[in-house]
Structure 1
Amino acid sequence: MDADRYNSLSYKQTCSYHEKLRESVFRTVEKDFDALGIRLSEISFKDANEANSWKKLWSKPERAASWDWVRLYNEYRGRGGARRFDMAIRRSGALHGLCYGMMERNRLVLRLHALERSPVNHELAGKVLDITLYAADLYATINGAHEIWLCDPVSPAHTRLYQSKGYSPVTNWRDDVTHLMLRLK
């Protein structure tokens, strides 16, 4: 959808547009990763609650994300919820990963603010990130975005992992990585 037409949508129409777009992306990704038997959906309150329990289950505490999934659930459903990118990844009914992101108002950047995989459901370990980044790339590309940002990496190990996927670190004046960026073609 071109920018002029998109900008003329009402809030309700914008919500509907992004909801249909997320559904389309989910079904496409499920087909493209068919061999894994995954099911994608928007994040539910139940998913957010379950993910909050993951913090204490990580064998290495530095791998645990610091965000509060229930708080994020409420924030993303509230302000700016129309342009959100949220995704829960399931296999055989078990929750394996979650991601929250948001398209910038101008739709040039998709920011992924929270991304985590389950420390207990290991069947998709090593694949949750690939599935998420593939879905985010598809969603961003359809929206006409120029970049995807992975914001506030949890640890230096996460930064290295994201770099291995083609993302470039962006630092602040203290040389701290604020986010990693991928320019879309």
Structure 2
Amino acid sequence: MKIDIPFYDLVNKCLIGLIFLGLFILVNPSLCFGYISNELLDSISTGSEIIITLCAFAISYEIGLIINRIGSVVLEPLFKKIHLIPFDNDYKKFNKVKKEYPIMETLSREYALSRTSIVLFLVLIAISILGENKLFGVPFILIAIIFYFSYKKFATKIVNMMKETSENDN
């Protein structure tokens, strides 16, 4: 059985997970480093560093995947329902437009990345409010808003291209 993970997905989810872990540590340093003793750090060898690094990347990928799925299953339907983004569920039309205009692939990826980033920063807002450094919530809110506008921009472009193509067919 061959398992094939596209490079884009691997990098995207790993990167989102690494950003989450890095900012989580920045927001809650005592929670993260309070349990690690100097003796434990001194006992780490080259072999165990490799294992720890591989585990960190695996955990990062999984965190990125979870954040991505929350965006797809929770955020997107909510935003569609309360009309914060335009959306056209006609995937047949989308695939037809994608064949005609290869830029649709890029727009779709950027749309998904913006959606995932919104969830990432919403989660970090909650963590910072509940954690030690509440002031981190302010830049996280601003970043989430920026990604919302990006998300809306890509959704609008995709829907408009789909609409234009179907109007030209008629």
User: Which one has the largest radius of gyration?
Assistant: 2
The verdict on a shared fold, with TM-score over 0.5 as the criterion, is no
* TM-score, scaled to structure 2: 0.30
Larger relative strand fraction: 1
* TM-score, scaled to structure 1: 0.28
Larger relative helix fraction: 2
Higher relative contact order (CA 8 A, sep 6+): 2
